[in-house]
Structure 1
Amino acid sequence: MNLDQIGILFEITIDRSIKSVPFAVLGGESSFTSEKEILFSMHSVFHVDDIERPDGTNRLWQVKLKQTADSNPQLSLLTKRSREETKEGSIAWDRMGKLIIKMSKFSKTEEIYRTLEENVSNENMKAYIYKQLGYAKIGLNQYEEALALYDKAIAIRLETLPSNNVELANCYNNIGTIHNCMADYSKGLPYFDKVLEIQKRTPIDDMSIGRCYDNIAYTYDRMGDYAKALIFNEKSLMIK
């Protein structure tokens, strides 16, 4: 044992009533299934409630922490500045949800965005939440539910955004992908056509158009229309 080292044990008290400090209990979903892991959102703030020496020596210190809400006047300014610098969005639950998506923990993703859904009234934000929930449902192979969520997102987007908005293109692309996953290729193809139409009318990088060509080529291939599949594969290769 290295006598120069000192152990520090952090004990965190969680107040579930504080909605502004999101967290997710990963449990058996983490890499270490025997551990009960808890993931806090970036920039979660805690204050030191107490410091103790549980073994009566200087070899181990126990630091007791408590959550601090965003409404705390001493910390709200610092938290705001930190979030602005990272440019990760204005809503802590959304930042948490995006992180969980990257970890492919789709059940937890759904929990997080359902919580966010309960606390927003802005229609554009609701459309965004439905889109994220739809993505989670795709990850869970719950395709019918995913389609219903994307339909909700599109209904709101069509009322609030121009018909050539890239957000609509993203939703159409995911719906087309869902139909392909369900082997309903003839239903998915029109959505990829809509994506391509929007992309051609919108300033967007060529690689995005290339990916759309790939999706259309794949769909035609699965439908057995190899001539059209070849045409779109060649269009994709010309861009790449």
Structure 2
Amino acid sequence: MKRGKRYIEAAKNIDRTTLYDTAEAISVVKKNAVAKFDETIEAHIRTGCDGRHADQQIRGAVVLPHGTGKKVRVLVFAKNAKADEALAAGAEYVGAEELIPKIQNEGWLDFDVVVATPDMMGVVGRLGRVLGPKGLMPNPKAGTVTMDVTKAVKDIKAGKIEYRLDKTNIVHVPIGKASFTEEQLADNFQTLIDAIRKARPAAVKGQYLRSITLTSTMGPGVKLNTAKFV
């Protein structure tokens, strides 16, 4: 893979043989975020889970204390009073069956998170083939299938993020923007790690957090010392 000049220059600031502590890693990643836009800072956490087994899955959600720095567009599937609640809480889009053809046939996907009341899941289920591969399907574990749509929408707007294993047993999550202070990023990261540690499946044997890398959208990764998170 061919790397750009900025990436190559930024990579010179990182000692590949060193495992950094959190504060130092955040500082290095921020310094290397030199793109012309406000880069997202991400955590990539390689676990000792085997996601092929149902009892070793990790999936949940956590509200980052300083948010993600991204404006999140929320779509809520709800009817009547619950639809009114969702709009009052700040959801950009609210609807029911009438949204199915718009999403299925017209390819409308101008939203980042989907919330649904339990009674609407029969309707939302028809969109599984569209929403599922994009990670947009509402899920009770992530708090996106709920009767409390007000709390769901407000939490998402406040910086709630979902975490789950990918096919290679890695969790990829944004923890903020390069414009955040180092303290804000450290707070968000610690909140995320605490949640993932609590979510450790009982069936996982051996080391749970194998490696943690922090990176910015365009910058090189910085590896953390995982010993303190074990």
TM-score scaled by structure 2? 0.29
Larger helix percent = 1
Larger strand percent = 2
Greater gyration radius: 1
TM-score scaled by structure 1? 0.28
Instruction: Return the structure number with greater relative CO, CA threshold 8 A, min gap 6.
Output: 2
